[in-house]
Structure 1
Amino acid sequence: MRYSYDIKLSQIKVSALQYLLMAVICLSSYATNGQSVAFPGAVGWAADTPGGRGGAIIRVTNLNADGPGSFQEAIKTAGKRIVVFEVGGVIDLKGKVLRVNEPFLTIAGQTAPSPGITFIDGGIGIRTHDVIVQHIRIRTGASRHKVGEWEPDGMATISAYNVIIDHCSMTWAVDENCSPSGPRFNGKTPDEWRKGTSHRITLSNNIIAEGLSHSTHIKGEHSKGTLVHDNADEIMIYGNLYASNQDRNALFKGGARGVYANNYIHNPGKNAVRYGLVDQEWEGYPHETGKISIVGNMMQHGPSSSDMPLLYMGNGPCEAYMEDNIAKKLDGTDARMFTGDSAKLVKTKPIWFNGLKLMKAGQLKEYVEKNAGARPWDRDLHDKRIVKEMLTLKGRIIDSEQEVGGYPEYKPTAQKFDSNAWNLNSMVRK
């Protein structure tokens, strides 16, 4: 994507003030379209993170779980870095959850040759700041593990900030598929609590689907999409496809604050979006007020769905705003929009990101069909299946990845990364 703002005074007659104003507008437009923002289309409070921009190009040259040339080696490297892939296929984590501890990182899964990069039997935990993750698949699964000994998230942020997880596919997790998390009371004041847990996090344009229900989690049933942990702040959940998760599509816990906009929820089992503070977890602490703005979303009941509303308002003080949402039962009739204490519904947005441009809820099905998940131009069989189930009102809550074909097997591919073919500031192909 290229921009040109050359203005010749010999061709256009403007005053000095007009010329200055035009220059400011041009520079502002340039910044908005890929310089001061992470990439074109980035949204939310984390949108201005540089990630690894300007850092070293680190090439993943094999599909090994660790060692030289591996993905794990790349993310462990200190300093600004952009991780690109010269291989495509499956990275078997063999029961590991990789930790991202070093900040200023861009993971550019879009650079991999087809079929892209798929992680199996593991997950990724982000415990730092200024990280961009795009176009990877995490298919956690549980068939190799015993009950009570394996309950990872697919991808999670833990006390992280300025993080964007965009155009990724996260399925078959045993805990949540994708969550902003961390300690709820790190610090002495509510402001310190919010800074001590995950904040300024964007989850955008992802497929978050098929959390495993009766699997290896010690608590039993645990098919969950996204948990926005207590006091997490400035959370943007935008443009995602939630499909066939029993619960937490998403759940905002006590004091959590965020925007939930333009998401499509297909075939939720027990709950779609909900808010809830757990009294026992807040013992000795004053209850903080949650703030959520729920705008332009679509919930479509499916074969596994109970008679649920789009939003269930549970325990704890909260201000919730709802606008332009659609909720449908499987037979096409209207589902309930809200259940709970209606006094918690407010008439103005309690939290919002200025400049956020939204689609109408009725446009979401077409949008996620074309745009959601990792590499929508090169979807794998599981993402194709999940999107097709959304379109045909099918799908089900599953207990094991083996019920839907099991871990993917792809023949490894290789292709050298050509830095001249990419805008290294935004990791958009030229």
Structure 2
Amino acid sequence: MFQFVWSLAAYVLLSCQPIIAQNAFPGAVGFGAIATGGNGGTTYMVTNLDDGGPGSFRDAVSESNRNIVFDVGGYILLKSAVSLSSDITINGQTAPGDGIGIMGGEVSASGQSNIIIRNLRMRQGTLDSDTGKSAFNMGSASTVILDHCSVAYGQWDSVDAVGAINITVSNSIIAFPIGQQFGAHVETGPSTFYGNLWVSAHNRQPLSKDDTQYVNNVVYNYQAGYTSGNTGGNFSHDIINNYFIAGPSTTSPSDGYYQMDSEQSVYAAGNYLDSNKDGALNGAAANVVGDSTVLSSPWESSSESLAKYSASDAVTAVLNSAGASPRDEVDTFAVSAAKSFGTSGTIYESQADTGLSNGGYGTLTSTSSKERR
């Protein structure tokens, strides 16, 4: 049977995206940046939107040491969770048209290591009958980086990282969790959350039961934002130049920091909270983090240099560029809510409640490079 595996040389000729031989990619940050993924391995071209078989995404991620590229754009509808292998790179930015998305099931890196994922849309939603799964699961995984990804409609969590070691989630949109309505759950760590947009979640943005870098994030329409939990243990948190913006679902704006007790050691600087829901970005400094123990300097030496933007400039940068590219209907909707600065936004129970096309998942035009010739 013909194997849809191309040589590295062929990929270099056909793609404008460079293969990075060391580190995840230029500009990668945080604890997951040391990932090399499948760079330097064989390149697998995804040629269809089927849930399995030759040329499918499921087949592409079934073996290690693969650099995965896409000759097709559109949604892949999962019939069951898809499990990633270790030592892979997923280059969603290579997909034509509106890009590539996974819907109706969990994408799982559980127990795997050395994974790079870029420009991938992961949207579980109620098409998945297993309410105990998440949109993206990297439980007990190690050395994982998600960059410019879009995660929505997670039923258990949007991002599950219980037991994960050395992870980064950067420049991504994490929006509209349903079910538990939770953003991300991290245990073990360390973890880095950088430059992300969090929209309309009940809690866990993230839940950090680990040593964490949390820099240049924007959290909108929360009921509880950055959380550690009263039974989380003793951890250190660098919380720098983030902006918390209350929305219609925010009942207590001060819960931008939630369940941060004296067992948590926090360096907080340059953070702002806009609590008045008046349609303008006009918050005030917010660097008192619950009852946590105050650190006079960051616990991680790289945290301050990671803070590329002030909190207000981070709002501009994140709203302009976070998420998968090109920005699609779901992400445009999330960004539009955040840009209302307090006047728009809902915590949903189902993707269908958004009123967006395709049952709430939004429409990604199905196309291939052949159609462009």
TM interval, short-chain normalised:
0.7 to 0.9
Match of 1:85 among 70, 74, 86: 70
CA deviation map 1:175-202 (0-9, x unaligned): 11113223xxxxxxxxxxxxxxx11100
Match of 1:159 among 140, 145, 154: 140
- What is aligned with 1:40? 26
- Tell me, which stretches of 5 or more residues in structure 2 are unaligned? 1-18
User: CA 1:121/1:143 → structure 2, altered by over 3 Å: closer, same or farther?
Assistant: closer
CA deviation map 1:122-159 (0-9, x unaligned): 121112111000001111111564xxx52321112121
- What is aligned with 1:366? 316
- What is aligned with 1:201? 167
Shift of residue 336 of structure 1?
5.8
Distance between the aligned counterparts of 1:401 and 1:107, measured in 2? 25
Shift of residue 411 of structure 1?
4.1
Residue 359 of structure 2 is aligned to residue 413 of structure 1: no
Aligned-partner residue type, residue 258 of structure 1: T
- Tell me, which stretches of 5 or more residues in structure 1 are unaligned? 1-32, 183-197, 216-221, 280-287, 418-430
Aligned-partner residue type, residue 31 of structure 2: W
- What is aligned with 1:67? 53
- What is aligned with 2:16? none
- What is aligned with 1:11? none
Residue 116 of structure 2 is aligned to residue 132 of structure 1: yes
User: CA 1:251/1:175 → structure 2, altered by over 3 Å: closer, same or farther?
Assistant: same
Aligned residues of 2:215 and 2:307 also touching (Cα < 8 A): no
Aligned residues of 1:243 and 1:265 also touching (Cα < 8 A): yes
Aligned-partner residue type, residue 270 of structure 2: D
User: CA 1:278/1:361 → structure 2, altered by over 3 Å: closer, same or farther?
Assistant: same
Instruction: State the identity %.
Output: 31
Relative to the length of structure 1, the TM-score reads: 0.75
Relative to the length of structure 2, the TM-score reads: 0.86
- What is aligned with 1:303? 248
Shift of residue 335 of structure 1?
8.2
- What is aligned with 1:423? none
Distance between the aligned counterparts of 1:223 and 1:379, measured in 2? 23
Question: What are the within-5 Å matches in structure 2 for residues 344-383 of structure 1?
Answer: 344-353=293-302, 355-375=305-325, 378-383=326-331
User: Secondary structure of 1:249's partner?
Assistant: coil
CA deviation map 1:323-369 (0-9, x unaligned): 00011111345486545325x12212123436535211110121012
Match of 2:348 among 376, 383, 398: 398
Aligned-partner residue type, residue 106 of structure 1: T
User: Secondary structure of 2:253's partner?
Assistant: coil
Aligned residues of 1:308 and 1:336 also touching (Cα < 8 A): no
Residue 149 of structure 2 is aligned to residue 168 of structure 1: yes
User: Secondary structure of 1:72's partner?
Assistant: helix
Distance between the aligned counterparts of 1:240 and 1:333, measured in 2? 19
Of structures 1 and 2, the larger Rg is shown by: 1
- What is aligned with 2:333? 385
Aligned-partner residue type, residue 348 of structure 1: S
Paired residue total:
340
Match of 1:245 among 198, 201, 205: 201
- What is aligned with 2:265? 319
Shift of residue 301 of structure 1?
0.4
User: CA 1:323/1:411 → structure 2, altered by over 3 Å: closer, same or farther?
Assistant: closer
CA deviation map 1:76-124 (0-9, x unaligned): 023x110001111110003x22111x32100000000011111111121
Aligned residues of 2:329 and 2:363 also touching (Cα < 8 A): no
Distance between the aligned counterparts of 1:416 and 1:103, measured in 2? 30
User: Secondary structure of 1:247's partner?
Assistant: coil
Distance between the aligned counterparts of 2:21 and 2:306, measured in 1? 17
Shift of residue 164 of structure 1?
0.4
Aligned-partner residue type, residue 414 of structure 1: S
- What is aligned with 2:190? 234
- What is aligned with 1:76? 62
CA deviation map 1:232-291 (0-9, x unaligned): 2220100000011111111112xx1110111000111x2011112438xxxxxxxx5211
Distance between the aligned counterparts of 2:81 and 2:262, measured in 1? 33
User: Secondary structure of 2:319's partner?
Assistant: helix
Distance between the aligned counterparts of 1:333 and 1:296, measured in 2? 13
Distance between the aligned counterparts of 1:224 and 1:172, measured in 2? 10
